[in-house]
Each structure stands twice: as C-alpha cells, then as structure tokens.
Structure 1
Amino acid sequence: MNIGKISLIGVPMDLGQTRRGVDMGPSAIRYAGIVERFKNLQLEVEDLGDIIISRTANRAPSHSKLKNLPVVAEVNRLLADKVDEIMKNHSFPLVLGGDHSIGIGTLAGVAKHYRNLGVIWFDAHGDLNTEETSPSGNIHGMPLAVSMGLGHPDLVNIQGYAPKVKPEHIVIIGARSLDEGEKKLIKEKGIKVYTMHEIDRLGMAMVMEQCITYLRERVDGVHLSLDLDALDPADAPGVGTPVNGGVSYRESHLAMEMLAESQLVMSAELVEVNPILDERNKTAVLAVALMGSLLGEKLL
C-alpha cells in the first residue's frame, strides 16, 4: 500500500438507525485532528466536505418496512459516485460516518475498481440482515448483506451492478452480537468470522495473520469498514449500539498496524461515532489514532 493522497468525505447521516447523534460523527472525527494526523505522516490530504443529508426526504412514502429507505438509498447513491470519483483520481477514499448504512455506498463506489474486492468488517455486529430477517428494519444492520446482493433492489443495485463483494472475500472481526438470520446466512455462505471467542483464544496477532493470509490469496484489494462498536465500550463509549466484551484499545491498534504492514488496504470508512454518547470526544480521538496506525504511524 503506497498511499500518497487521502481523500476524506463525510456522511453525517443517522437515518439508518434510530438513535440520534451519529450524524455528528464526521465533525467529531475532524475535531479530533484527523487532517493534522495525516499531514504529520507526510500524506497529502484533501477534505471534500460532507454529503448534504435532507432532513425531510425521509418522509417520502415507502412500501417497505425498511426505515427511511428513500433517503438512505439516495445518500448512498451520492456517496458511491463520490467514492468512484476518488478512486478514479488514484486517491485513498476515507469515508467518515454516520451510521453503518453508508457502507452500502462506499462499497458500491470501491468495488467496481477491483475484480475481487476483499472486505474486512471490524464490527460487533454482522450487518447481514435483510428486510425479512431484520428485527428492527434499521438499514445500518444490512450493508454487508446488501453488498453481497441480498436486500432491497433500491440498495442492492446502486451503481448498476451486484453483488459488490463475494461472501468468500469477507472477513468479519470482533463479532459478538448476531441475529438468528445472520447466523444462518454466515453458515450458508461460508463467511469467515472471528468472534470475540476466537480473538480471546487465538490472540489478535494470530487472527490478523490468518485474515491477511486468507485475503491475500483471494483478492486484489481490501476495503476496511471500521465500526467503533467493535471496540469495548470502556475504550469507545460514544457508539449507538455498544456491546460489552469487545476488542481492546491495544488489540485494535495491533490489528491496524498489521494491516499497514500487509499493504492490502486500499480504502476505508469510520462509522458509528456518536459524540452525544461520548466522553470528551474519546471515541473520535481513538478513531483518528487507529487510522494513523492503519496508514503507517509508528512509535519508532
């Protein structure tokens, strides 16, 4: 991964779920000094600002139980176009969320530039629900399923192609809260998942070694989707759906450092930072530090 230029795009959307506040995530991450951090790494940084989110479009009628489907679909279409443009300019797209429904648009923009895109989904949840299996109808629990071609056509067909990623090219890390439909899909599709059980048992170093080896043999580029709720709430309290017993601060940095060494990651997103629920912007500061490690920052 020889990254010279980073392009930031914010997506201040909280309509993929029901807890307010995550729309302020991009501002919190910028306030935590992400641009300055990257410049200190001698990287060229361009901040493309935020995608404008309509606060009234979500009242548009929908014949789906998916909450706010019209506006979530529209925002992801706009995001996919932006990410596609960034990729065409040979820059590293870093998307700042916003809830995890924005993963739909990010992957739609990235995947068309690879024959076999790999995805690392660093998350407490699987995000593999569909309209039929979702207990809530919240689209932030569906982006990985959508990207595999499963879900509402307004989401699945963004950028005019599907699927964006094959199940055998996905690795989920940090899972500890999976719905029954997601468990079934994981088994049916053979998706590689490292739950907290595997992380505890093997250690993060072994998990990442296996993940990197697995993807290197199968893909021509990797997208990292980093949901801050993958981390333990003690380290990352400012998330909408915290789950106890998560990945530690140091385990997360080690994972990012090993990905930096692998030179596999070509795009990334940070999602579910909710400053309303945070403690003095602790979670956004951590998110910025993790991106520093991903992009090559070292102690010595």
Structure 2
Amino acid sequence: MKKLYAVLGDPIGHSMSPVMLNDLFSFYQKDAHYLPFQVKAEDLGSAVKGLKAIGAGGFNVTIPHKSNIIPFLDGVDELAASIGAVNTVVNEDGSLIGYNTDGPGFLKGINTIVPMVSEQRILMIGAGGAARAIYFTMAKEKPLVLDIANRTLETAAKLIEDCPYDSSSRALSLKEASENIGEYDLIIQTTMIGMSPKMAEQPLNLDNLRKQSFVCDIIYNPLETQFLHAAALKGARIQNGINMFVYQGALAFEKWTGFFPDVQRMRNNVLVQLGGNPC
C-alpha cells in the first residue's frame, strides 16, 4: 500500500508541490503518493488527526495554516517554534513533529551565489510570515548587517525583537531603505508586491543600487518581477523564488525519506509548470 504524503492549505489548487514531489517519489521508486487537500480553518484539527490515524508519512502546510497547526502537533523543532510557523510535518514513529524549511530553503537557494552569508550586509524588505522565517534563518548565520525595511516600522521592530539570535539590525522605512540601498550586498524582497494584481509595482526605488549587489525576490510567478527587472537593468545579479520553493521542498523530502533529492530535476519540473525553459 502506498505511503501517503500531503499538502494542506486553503486554497490549494494552485500548489505545484504535488507534481514536483510525486515526480520525485516516482523517480526514486518510492511506493508513495502526495496529494493536495483543501482544508478550512475550522477543520484543521480534524484533518491532522485523520492523517495521523491513517499513518501518513508526513505533510506540508501552506497558507493559512502554518501557525494555527502547531497546537495540533505532538512536537515542534526549535527553529519552527521560534518562528511560530510550520510548513513541514514528519510522522516520527507515530508522533507528528513540525519543522520549518522555508528559511533554510531560502538559505540553500542563495548559497549557490553567496556561500558566506556571514560576510554580507543584508537588507530584507517586508516583515510578514515569509520574512520572519528568512530573517530568523539569516540572523542565525550572523551577517555583518541585517536590516528590515517595512511599510510599518513597528512591525519590523517587533520582528527584530522576537528573533532569538543576536543580530545587527535596524528597522527602516521604505524611503530610508531606498536612499541607502547602495550600502547592501544582498537585498531580499519578501512581500507580495510584484504578483497579480500588483505586477507593475515594486516595493523600493532602486536608483541607488550598486552593480555588485545580489537581489532576490521570493516570488516565482511571474518568473521576473518588476523589482528583479529593475535590478537587472542596474547590473545586479538576480534570483527569483524558484530556488527557495525547490529547496524547501527538497528539505521536506529529505526529512521524510532520509536523503536529499535532485534539486535540478525539481527546478526543471517547476519551470515547465510555469511555462519557462528548463535548464
């Protein structure tokens, strides 16, 4: 009988995880299947209880359940607990243990370009859920600078305060960040600006961006946001959100199976789904 894996969210029809992960199970000849389940907030506890009862090997958690799922789990690892969000659950001998692979997935994605985060001056744009996972993960690496630019300064300051890892961080207005963006080596865009219906917008003015900078946007649909396009015109290196998506999925797969999969295969699969050209 095939081992069940799943992703829980609401909505869930847009998720590319089933195609990507079912391909891996098939490629590695694992007797497993990965299914999407649309779960309403009021049914989340019942869904988790049901997956545990039937012995599911694990599951992913996406919007809007990443924080609300924690009370229904048997345990949560240190990073996920500090972030306050879970995106991967592993059935460990009958106990459901929650992890967060979003931040580590982002880190692995940029390590292909920036192997030593500790030597970087970093500006992160946004202070929402995705930003929280990335900020905590980056702070653990002890970069030279790790500032947050956000529309609401209080939210950015609270994120800095909540982080369990020491970091040299300031909360900046978007105007301050735009004016001083030339000070940073790595710029990380974590907001939804750049997706439909805001595809023509960008969160910061990049007039002062240095050519040597590395600019990331966690959005991957569209493949190149207006923000990344503007950065490329300034001569910066750019990276969209595909690497983060692929690596967070790869880390989840590793937790479920014990080995790390072929990320290039995963990346090509996602690109095909998005209408891009696989490498």
TM class, shorter-length: 0.3 to 0.5
Highest relative contact order (Cα 8 Å, sep 6+), 1 or 2? Answer: 1
Q: Give the TM-score of the pair, scaled to structure 1.
A: 0.37
Q: Which has the larger radius of gyration?
A: 2
